[in-house]
A and B are shown apart, each in its own frame.
Chain A
Amino acid sequence: MSETPESAASHPTRLTGAEIVWATLEGEGVREVFGYPGGAILPIYDALRKYPIRHVLVRHEQGAAHMADGYARASGKVGVAIATSGPGATNLVTGIATAMLDSVPMVCITGQITSKLLGTDAFQEVDITGITLPITKHNYIVTRSQDIAPILREAFLIAKSGRPGPVLVDITKDAQQGSADFDFAAAAPSPHRPHPMLSAEHDAITEALKLILAAKRPIILAGHGITESNAMDQVRTLAERLQIPVASTLLGLGAFPASHELSLGMMGMHGEAWVNQAIQQSDLLIACGMRFDDRVTGVIASYAPNAKKIHIEVDPAEINKNVKADIALIGDLREVLETLLPQIAPRRDTTWLRTVNTLKGDAAVRDIRNLPDLGHLYAAHVIHDLWRATDGKAIVVTDVGQHQMWEAQYYKHESPRTLITSGGLGTMGFALPAAIGVKIACPEKEVWVIAGDGGFQMTASELSTIVQEKLDINIAIINNGFLGMVRQWQEFMYEGKYSCVSIVAPDFVKLAGAHGIEGMAVRTRAEVLPAVDVARHSGGPFLINFMVEKEDAVYPMIAPGSALDEMIRRPSKNPLIETSEEP
């Protein structure tokens, strides 16, 4: 928070607990919150009228959590979600877990029944600190007004420090109603406890340098930590200085520019073949702020068998969790790289790069614009055209499933915080509410939701929020009438026997219309760019229902239990076929 008004509250003022909540949020630099009122949080909502904070009224508390999450991912600031006790609090749970798995800084404030009734099963009582214990970085229950300010301030510090994450603060109604002296500066949290495991030790740095300088086939694995640590320049310098190709995780996309000649693209289950082949052939992996998730490694036993691994990571618990590191540099990525870089001289050996480029082969120069228009509409076309139309500059918020992987493959992200997606938890229904948070954090940016017809129906009620808040968000529904990714798995792994994956949807254009949102349906390739153009210039929210090929699949794919370079390639019946790769 750049403009924390430490001086604004240097004298204690007598305030109610509810007022202290807002005064503390204001002091922490919060300008927008996402929430839904209810009985146990009435005092806080009453006090809100006195404070210059924008409250976005959501349609379901899960939406509030996703909005705060999207807000935080887009801005780098702490997102704030507010809900009442009981069902309000439990509705936050999916959103909190989503933020936890993707290390998103978030503070959730929930109302709680009055402290004297705790544990009596009073109306709308739920043990939300118990429920969220394993899905928050930390949580609190506050029963005294005077504890609100110091605990909230500590919650903000915890949410954004180290590996960020969600923190929940449960405040009883009597703590909201009581009063206490408020002094923002005096409520400052004590410095974070020292972490003895958090030092990239000198020996490790020396060993890492030796490995880096000796490597013939190094690869940088770029993760979400690059964005969180603001280490984009340092990673780029490292890559350029030693001519090391860069493979990205899903959440790492954008942290290294997609158009950079050293960018390989996304690795893992739906990464392009050459990326995974390059990783398998590599002799040194430099993992930057990533955690070797099972979706990026395939079978661990055969993962990058010839590569030494340098793992640069802020969370010591990630070291050796999935992949055994040869060197662990524990600490803030940017600081570690700044220690390393001055000791690394430029190298001009391009043998490895040429090998990697050979792996790319014809696949890399494939331009799906030039493929024949056979009357089918493919999601890949839609996303590719959307990328062209927006010049790659929109913030894209995706849901979870096939469209998410197509987005990752065909929308080229040049800068961080431009792809907002639920990676770790894979939360369907994330896109629409998260996009609301994104748009509120970045009102000047073009924001696109890309969602499937399944996930969109999970949180479609937030269309009303878009209208109420007058937000200019464009929505692309990739509609194939199926829960596409599950259908694809059933096709590949259950002999094409479909179980519960065909899904009926409302007419999304009419649904948008019922909310007062313009929309249109698109059925052919030729209509894509004109429709996107209409949406971009409509001056308000706009929904496009893209009726795409029903049984298309995401390729390549590494089936569970396979090694990283054993992938299912595109079959020849698909017009997106790469002829050169036919077996």
Chain B
Amino acid sequence: MLHTFVALVEDKPGVLTRVASLFRRLNINIISLTVGHSERQDVSRMTIVAEAAPGSGHRIKASLFKLENVIDVDDIGQLSCVTRELALIKVAATPHNRAPIFQLAEVFRARVVDLAPESLMLEMTGVASKIEGLIQVLSEGDNTILEVSRTGRMVMRRGQHTSRVLDAMRLSSPEEEPIIPVTTVAGDLGRELLSEDPNHPL
């Protein structure tokens, strides 16, 4: 089954190798791994999706914790969360046959981000199944997909949840570098976002 982990790691050289090497050692295939900055300057955030036996989540999480550069790990499991993936899809298209692709893009809420004489590029954000749906309908038509680039999944738990470890570290060293301010989503906009169904087909 697919396991999803969110790991907060130190932003230092070699950390990605350590994380990747752990999965290699456990003989577990990584389906996708995304890394980027977090709300703290010295902390990177990884979302790791891996195919592993159903009961192995605890051990993977505990093994990740053993890496000195890993600050916190969350095993997402069935927890309520928002999952997103970004895809760039380049499709062969001339001025004559662009129109149907534009229509598909609109239905899928994809955006056209590049237009060239013989190709166009779509940008699409959503859950994996949504992206796969777009790729499928594009290939079912007369279109030729030239390139696909996908970021892999990013996951964030819904609601108030934040890392207990980072919270504890903040309390223990208040003079450390300031946290990058994050504007809170509140009110109607927040509710609207929360009500969005991540598994909605479109």
Chain A residues within CB distance 8 Å of chain B: 129-130, 133-134, 137-138, 158, 190-191, 193-197, 315-317, 319-321
Contacts and interface: CB of A to CB of B under 8 A. Distances in A.
Contacts of A137: 66, 68
Given A133-B18, A194-B168, A315-B66, A321 B59 contact: yes
A138 B61 CA distance: 17
A158 B67 CA distance: 11
Interface string B34-52: 0000000000000000000
B202 to A, nearest CB: 38
B63 A317 contact: yes
Interface in B6-61: 14, 17-18, 21, 25, 55, 58-59, 61
B25 to A, nearest CB: 6
A499 to B, nearest CB: 29
B81 interface: no
Chain B's interface size range is 20 to 34
A317 B62 contact: yes
A197 B62 contact: yes
Interface in B140-158: none
Given A196-B72, A320-B58, 19 more contacts: A133-B17, A133-B18, A133-B21, A134-B21, A137-B68, A138-B68, A158-B68, A191-B172, A194-B168, A195-B65, A197-B61, A197-B65, A315-B62, A316-B58, A316-B62, A316-B65, A317-B66, A319-B59, A319-B62
B33 to A, nearest CB: 17
Contacts of B67: 138
A324 to B, nearest CB: 9
Contacts of B25: 134
Interface in B154-169: 164-165, 168-169
24 contacts: A129-B14, A130-B17, A133-B21, A134-B21, A134-B25, A137-B66, A158-B68, A191-B172, A193-B71, A193-B165, A194-B168, A194-B169, A196-B72, A196-B164, A197-B61, A197-B65, A316-B62, A316-B65, A317-B59, A317-B62, A317-B65, A319-B58, A319-B62, A320-B59
A320 to B, nearest CB: 6
Contact of B173 (A190, A195, A196): A190
Contacts of A316: 58, 62, 65
Nearest to B172: A191
B161 to A, nearest CB: 13
A320 B62 CA distance: 11
Contacts of A193: 71, 165, 169
Given A194-B168, A195-B65, A196-B72, A320 B55 contact: yes
Interface in B53-108: 55, 58-59, 61-63, 65-68, 71-72
Contacts of A196: 72, 164-165
Contacts of B58: 316, 319-320
Nearest to B68: A138
A311 to B, nearest CB: 13
A463 B171 CA distance: 55
Contacts of B71: 193
Nearest to B168: A194
